A and B are shown apart, each in its own frame.
Chain A
Amino acid sequence: MLKVENLTKRFGGIIAVNDVSFEIEKGEIVGLIGPNGAGKSTLINLISGFYKPDKGKIVFEGKDITKIEMFKRAKLGIARTFQNSRIVSNMTALMNVLYAIIGRENGENISLHEAYVESIYYLDLFGLLKKRDILASDLPIYELRLLELARALALRPKILLIDEALAGLNPVEAENVSKLINRIKEEFNLTIIWVEHVLKVLMRSVERVLVMHYGKLIADSTPAEVVRNQQVIDAYIGEEAV
């Protein structure tokens, strides 16, 4: 479904993503982990179109999307969330979902009323219906994460790129969010790439793990195997030693 070939991205002298290749099948839920500065977020940004790669190819459903603009990728069905949940804080929760729906339909094929109804559906899915008229800046972080997932789902994506959905949540909340992610994956038939720092929760939820270190992909297997992989252990121990 998603194929990444020899993807490379440089920032000045630093190679943030170095010759990364992998393939993801439809319906998979894949964890993407690695120490700080490993290039996970850069990879997400490359796939969603925030950055243009210096080298390599991104193929989505058999179509080369390397040079396609960000908004067109969203229309193709690539949705993402952000590391620090970039919710438009000046708008209410409902409006934050609303614009994803209007944007998805190009603003043409859907009336404002229909979009309202649909966004209420997505808010309800995440239990945010009561909070629909509250400004996003007044929501606690847990609800912001949920709102962000609701917004991403409103795009009706085929693949969902999650960038740290659990950061800053307490264990109970983190557990809830990870359950929700698994639920929406089943319900909406999604493919998910999930970048996370909270490894314990992640490892239980995903079927396959990609490990990055200094921009390179160093492991690609099941969670059980990854924790035994010597290279991965070295990478994480190296981080803690520093």
Chain B
Amino acid sequence: MVRLEPRRGRLILHLARRKFDWVIETRYWRNPTIGFLIWLLLPIVIYYFASLIGLKPVALLSTLISANILAMICIPLTLQIIGTGRVNFGPHFFVAIGGYVAALLSKNFDVHPALTLFTAFAFGCLIGLALSPITIISKGLYFVLITLLLPFILWEFVYWRSDIFGAETGIPGVELLFWTGDLITDLMYYFYLSFIITFVLLLISDRVLRSRYGFLMGVINEDEEIAATYGTNVNRIKIITFTLTSGAIAIAGWFLAHYQGSFTGPAWLTPAFLVIILLTTTLGGKGAIYGIVISSYVIAILREVTRTTLGEFSTVALFTILLIFLYLLPEGFWGLYRKKRYREYAPSIRIRRREVT
């Protein structure tokens, strides 16, 4: 029994015994819904728009995919930063772990992508679990340093055993996820896959942050000792958070490997990629996971625009623009949107240090 009932200012949909109402008046529209719809329809709109004015949509679509990949890395990273109270400067290490696991398994043992996804996640978790004691032992800058050194270690290791990891040439011959013969269709599939992954990560993170555990994570982010004084098992929450989010970051590496058909660690283990990840998280807003989607799109599009228009000078231009953003938007893009709404709790991300002034 489906019935549509128009009322003043709203539309009510009766579905069997349940009611769904949709407010017509624009100021009551829910922004997440609008954002979700825009995000969902973006590639299709771009595709038709591009074909209308005779542009090739390939570059546009791959930019959107790289934005999704960026969001895929930054959403778990934000969760991790909140839950451990420490800023991880080695997220690309976990991306590379996931990428290498997926690529090696797929190339050498012909493992199905679904299985490599699981393995990449599990392996990322495992490495995260092995490294999780550092979230308890070291604080502030020291944690930053250890995590900053991790990608360097992997980099050196990859070059040392280049017979396995292929160093700069990478590991070719990874099974592609979609192979229809039409590049645009493939890219559409890739976009929607990355979209689904990102969206699921976003939903999970949102749920977690709104839950009781998310609340405790927020307190840990603010003041660990207080959290412990009031009965929170800080170490357990930190270890669980670090482990699971490390695995989630490794999923991005899995996607990269199967999207490009090869995985080249040294291309991702660079400080430049680290800066892009970090700035996506910070420009997203302080601990705001929705802001990350916005900032990853802004940064990915910016990267593509500078790359196509400025050529050799593009990196300089990109990083200068990002630096200017950092000066002008200390609260991030999300901060612009919700300037006055302090009632909703937003944990701040910062590195705790001895006060100087």
Contact = CB atoms under 8 A, between A and B. Distances in A.
Given A70-B228, A75-B231, A155-B230, A90 B348 contact: yes
Given A75-B231, A90-B347, A99 B216 contact: yes
Contacts of A135: 342
A100 B230 CA distance: 5
Size range of the chain B interface in the assembly = 20 to 34
A48 B228 CA distance: 10
B27 to A, nearest CB: 23
B190 to A, nearest CB: 38
A91 interface: yes
B212 A74 contact: no
A71 B231 contact: yes
A151 B230 contact: yes
Contact of B216 (A70, A92, A107, A110): A107
B215 A71 contact: no
B168 interface: no
Given A50-B225, A88-B226, A112-B212, A99 B219 contact: yes
B345 A99 contact: no
Nearest to B211: A112
Interface string B198-237: 0000000000000111011011001101111111111000
A100 B231 contact: yes
B17 interface: no
A133 interface: yes
B227 A103 contact: yes
A6 B215 CA distance: 39
Interface of B is mostly: helix
B222 A74 contact: no
A78 to B, nearest CB: 9
Nearest to A151: B230
A92 B343 CA distance: 7
Contacts of A49: 228
Given A112-B211, A112-B212, A112-B215, A99 B343 contact: no
Interface string A87-114: 0101110010011101110111011100
A99 B215 CA distance: 7
Interface in B239-294: none
Interface of A is mostly: mixed
B297 to A, nearest CB: 28
Contacts of B218: 91, 99
Given A95-B345, A107-B212, A133-B343, A88 B232 contact: no
A115 interface: yes
B345 A91 contact: yes
Contact of A48 (B213, B219, B229, B232): B229
Nearest to A88: B222
Nearest to B347: A90
A151 B215 CA distance: 15
Contact of B215 (A69, A86, A102, A108): A102
A80 interface: yes
Contacts of A112: 211-212, 215
Interface of B: 211-213, 215-216, 218-219, 222-223, 225-234, 342-343, 345, 347-348
Given A71-B229, A75-B231, A99-B219, 10 more contacts: A74-B231, A91-B219, A99-B216, A102-B215, A102-B216, A103-B230, A103-B231, A104-B230, A106-B233, A111-B212
Interface of A: 48-50, 69-71, 74-75, 79-80, 86, 88, 90-92, 95, 98-100, 102-104, 106-108, 110-112, 115, 133, 135, 151, 155
